Amino acid sequence: MQVVVGAGSVGTAIALRVAETGEEVRVVTRSGGGPEHPLVSRVAADAGDAAALLGIVKGASVIYNCANPLYHAWPTAWPPIADALLRAAEANDAVLAITGNLYGYGPVARPMTEDMPLAATTVKGLVRAKMWQDALASRVRAFEVRSSDWIGPRYSLIWQALPAMRQGRTAWLPAPLDVPHTYTYTADAARTLVELAKDERAWGRAWHTPSPAPTTARRLLTRVAELAGLPAPRLRAYPQLAVRGAALFDKMAKEFLEIRYQHARPFVMDSSRVTTEFGLSATPLDEAIRETLRSA
């Protein structure tokens, strides 16, 4: 039995991928939600409650951390969840597969590789860096798969811009439009986590999800429009002063300011190591966009 904590795009894809191999999967969320499949059971629980989680994951061989606390609550929400997951994995001698991101590297001036130091200077970056450092310091067989901003359903640039694009309106975005940026397909993150959980060569290390070549927000959304049969998109970026003004009363805008550096200059992830060592490659960009549009 394998356990998936969280049922967002990545958690849902993992649960279905594992279930389709014939193995039982237990999905843990606050709401008790998750994908429907004969081999998937859904449990409502607070993943930060270590005692409750221990009972839910008893007998698990792999535990996937796909939790997604509210963005502004990371400093208080993540530590108990991460600690509970470490305890649960250790108690069951389970592999802990962590869905990670690039925040821990902090501002960078070159393509990010897994051997770069975790030099975060932001609150959220420090939270993520400590989660990984604590996992490494534990006795758990843990690994982390880090991804960049998503291509996929929910919480992605495409989903943010698509409603306006479909209505022929200007899509306003909070960051510059013409800066090279890596985008990662959610299904590729799920596939990488499942495959690496099987292979002890992956444990104790961080890996980057295989991702397409970097592009810009403008080029990405222009291709989305072409594949969706829509007119060329009208795109505008909010001025930084406008974002700062919004941050005075909007929690998401305030949190975005902290990581705006990821969009103000090239933010490129090198995922060649996982391809070289495990033969995993990125889904072609057009295919990823088409799959995202099917769910939008």
Residue 105 CA: distances (Å) to CA of 185, 192, 227: 20, 20, 34
49-63, 150-164, 176-190, 245-259: least confidently modelled range = 245-259
For 225-277, write each residue's pLDDT tens digit.
Answer: 999 999 999 999 988 777 788 777 788 778 888 999 999 999 999 999 999 99
Work out the percent of the chain whose per-residue pLDDT is above 70. 100
- pLDDT in the model for residue 13: 97
Residue 89 has pLDDT above 90, yes or no: yes
- pLDDT in the model for residue 82: 98
- pLDDT in the model for residue 243: 74
What is the rounded average pLDDT of the residues 95-102? 98
- pLDDT in the model for residue 245: 83
Mean pLDDT of the chain: 95
Give 174's pLDDT tier (boundaries 50, 70, 90). confident
- pLDDT in the model for residue 232: 97
- pLDDT in the model for residue 149: 96
- pLDDT in the model for residue 43: 97
For 17-57, write each residue's pLDDT tens digit.
Answer: 999 999 999 999 999 999 999 999 999 999 999 999 999 99
- pLDDT in the model for residue 219: 98
What is the rounded average pLDDT of the residues 95-115? 97
- pLDDT in the model for residue 209: 98
Homologous superfamily (CATH) for 2-148+186-209+270-282: NAD(P)-binding Rossmann-like Domain (3.40.50.720)
For 274-292, write each residue's pLDDT tens digit.
Answer: 999 999 999 999 999 999 9
What is the rounded average pLDDT of the residues 51-75? 96
- pLDDT in the model for residue 252: 79
- pLDDT in the model for residue 138: 97
